[in-house]
Amino acid sequence: MISSRTHSLSMDQALHEVMIQALASDPTVAVLSEQISADGQERHLGRWRITPVADRGTVGLAVGMALGGRRPVVCLSGTSRLPSILAPLSEASAIAQRGEFSVPLVLRIPYGTEAVGLDQPVGRFLTELPGLTVVCASSPGIAAGLLRTALSGQRPVVLLEPRALQGSRGTVGPDAIDFGAQLVRRGQHVTLATWGAGVATATAAAATLSGEGIEADVIDLVSLAPLDRELLRARVRETGRLVVVHPQDPALARHVQQIALEEAFLYLEAPLGEAGATEPEITTTARTTTTY
């Protein structure tokens, strides 16, 4: 049963709840994952498939399912797997871009610091695939809303889930959330553009700057591909300055800067800047590990 009220959940719990709701309400939804949650409630829904560690084959299977009228959700273990899935993901994106068929495929991928250091920055892999939407959540409520939107679409979507936020709690509502950028804080002196775990860092930095008489915008980009040019253009043209606060993904930061140059070059009053956000320490618990 879909909750019609707001409640407090961790990001992992919020996303799991949305998937269970989707499985219960839409017979075309299927989940391909390497594991199940601790409570195992998805076993009773019949369309949660346990897959081997064979990401290219799993994503290829999911693309075929999507072309055949299903809505597959693939849960990968991290961005270290991206090189192996680029071929089937590129094909799905190209088909969607050409408008030949609907490809309602969702990939859930944890993103950011990993204990063994194997995660890959997504900027050099995912932002140049036409037809692919890449979004990154900055809170449990936004994560749940983005997944609901992705599950209702007709194109492939990659949902990045910051590892640093997987155990963090927040208010989760029943509504879908648009993929467009969000203005978290308004200022007039500089624009801080960021995504995922960087939103909290940028918001804290803006509060510190305010104490020094500098009022900063904070933009949660939300969609990393395609980038929401409209809000970025409007805010950078007003403030004349841009600093991209990125969670250790300099290639993606350069991409955001390039868009800002294209859209607001004549309005810039200072060189573009970037800052690597320090992600919060990841707390791993049995519940966190088994939920995903």
Compute and round to an integer the Cα radius of gyration of the chain: 19
Indicate if the pLDDT at residue 201 is higher than 80.
yes
- Phi and psi torsions of 160, nearest 5°: -90, 130
pLDDT at site 40: 56
91: tokens are: 């094909």
CB 214 within 8 A of CB 190: yes
Residue 110: cis peptide before it, omega within 30 degrees of 0: no
pLDDT at site 80: 79
Indicate if the pLDDT at residue 22 is higher than 60.
yes
pLDDT at site 265: 96
| H runs (alpha helix) in 47-171 | 55-67, 82-98, 123-126, 140-151
Burial class (CB in 10 A: 0-12, 13-18, 19+), 38: exposed
**Separation of alpha carbons 176 and 160, rounded Å:** 16
Digit-coded pLDDT (tens) for 170-195: 999 989 999 999 999 999 999 999 99
For residue 3, the cross-strand partners are: none
Averaged pLDDT for residues 153-178: 92
CATH fold for the domain made of 182-276: Rossmann fold (3.40.50)
What rounded mean pLDDT belongs to the chain? 86
Q: Give the pLDDT band (50/70/90) at residue 144.
A: very high
Indicate if the pLDDT at residue 18 is higher than 90.
yes
Weakest mean pLDDT among 116-120, 121-125, 205-209, 264-268: 116-120
CB 48 within 8 A of CB 75: no
> Strand 223-225 and strand 242-246: pairing?
unpaired
Indicate if the pLDDT at residue 69 is higher than 90.
yes
Indicate if the pLDDT at residue 289 is higher than 50.
no
Query: Which CATH code fits 7-179+285-291?
Result: 3.40.50.970
Q: Give the pLDDT band (50/70/90) at residue 101.
A: very high
Full DSSP string of 120-132: --SHHHHTT-TT-
Averaged pLDDT for residues 201-227: 96
Q: Give the pLDDT band (50/70/90) at residue 42.
A: low
Tokens 């890959």, located at residue: 120
**Separation of alpha carbons 166 and 148, rounded Å:** 18
Q: What is the DSSP letter of 213?
A: T
pLDDT at site 34: 79
pLDDT at site 84: 86
pLDDT at site 277: 57
**Separation of alpha carbons 177 and 146, rounded Å:** 5
Q: What is the pTM of this model?
A: 0.88
pLDDT at site 280: 47
CB 184 within 8 A of CB 220: yes
Averaged pLDDT for residues 134-158: 96
**From-to residues of CATH 3.40.50.920 in the chain:** 182-276
**Separation of alpha carbons 190 and 214, rounded Å:** 8
Residue 271: cis peptide before it, omega within 30 degrees of 0: no
CB-CB neighbours of 284 under 10 Å: 11
Helix, strand, coil share of the chain (percent; to 5)? 40, 20, 35
pLDDT at site 283: 45
Indicate if the pLDDT at residue 41 is higher than 80.
no
